[in-house]
Amino acid sequence: MVDVTEKGDTVRQAVACGKVIVNPKILQMIKEHGIEKGDVLAVAQTAGIMAAKKTGSLIPMCHPLFLTGVDISFNLVDEGIIEIKSIVKTTGKTGVEMEALTAVSVAALTIYDMCKAADKEMQIKEISLLEKTGGRSGHYIREDSK
């Protein structure tokens, strides 16, 4: 791991996003809580939050961080697209980009797992960092998200 001992604490935030492409029929089932395994979005939200908190254990060179906030939201698009967005916050010596990306990834995988019996054609796409603030490198916003 990179030694961050001498770095000062700053308020840090990262925003990540991703998509799960599903059959429109499956999207309707998710909306109506008709998936056999349960409330897909509630479980995916919980899984994403838990994953963000465990990122330091999952990715070998990540520092274990004390997160001060994790939010995961979903936007359901009628054509069968589930947009996932995570916002992760901390005050510390290193950023939370990996935590935000991990949250989106695990939320997407949870949706896939819960719906795979009904839709084997699902796709997980476009997981990326949208924005980050804090630290020496300052404020970053992905060019196509402005």
Is position 113 annotated as part of the catalytic site?
yes
- What does the angle CA 61 – CA 139 – CA 106 come to, to the nearest 5 degrees? 45
Cα–Cα distances in Å, from 107 out to 8, 49, 97? 31, 8, 16
| Phi and psi at residue 114, to the nearest 5° | -75, -25
Catalytic, out of 71, 113, 119, 144? 113
Strand 10-21 to 69-77 pairing: unpaired
Burial of residue 50 (CB within 10 Å: 0-12, 13-18, 19+) is middle
Catalytic residues: 113
